[in-house]
Structure 1
């Protein structure tokens, strides 16, 4: 297969390509690098019906996906130990009418930002 190219000064160059070489270039798969996003999360722990002072963490997750409770649990496990997140049931603060509500979450649920890009969670101690 012959390709004729004209370069900047007007000269013509003739190049020969094998059919296999042309195929490999046309069948190339372009891999996209995963881009990550870091978000700030404020969380409260509720023990014996009392809210503790707020805690602040930064959580990294894939930029093209919503933040999930699993992302936060993974980060809490790194920071506070393996068993800590499982001692609590988790909910996120959500705007509702003129106020807000606590939306209960399962591990794979999306976390809704309460206002703008603000993520607020509450962990309620599970009493056995």
Structure 2
């Protein structure tokens, strides 16, 4: 099990909000998938969280992931 610190940004009305940080435990050895990430904020902020935003694709950057 690996503990991840994920920083993500939300965009509203064309402007980027302040960064948000979530800390999660991740079991998958194949990396983080967008479906995993979308589930974590929903667990913290409610089911509507992931449904309220459009999500971009996953891209690996060095050792981190960018969406």
Please indicate the TM-score interval, normalised by the length of the shorter structure: 0.7 to 0.9
1:45 shift after superposition: 0.6
| Structure 1 residues 34-113: aligned runs within 5 Å | 36-90=1-55, 104-105=56-57, 111-113=58-60
Deviant stretches of 4+, over 4 Å: none
Residue aligning to 2:61: 114
How large is the Cα RMSD of the aligned pairs? Answer: 1.8
Aligned length: 67
Give 5+ residue unaligned stretches, structure 1.
1-35, 91-103, 106-110, 122-128
Q: TM-score scaled by structure 2? A: 0.79
User: Which structure has the larger Rg over C-alpha atoms?
Assistant: 1
Query: Contact 1:76 / 1:84 at 8 angstroms: preserved in 2?
Result: yes
Query: Contact 1:38 / 1:61 at 8 angstroms: preserved in 2?
Result: yes
Structure with more strand by fraction: 1
Give 5+ residue unaligned stretches, structure 2.
none
Structure with more helix by fraction: 2
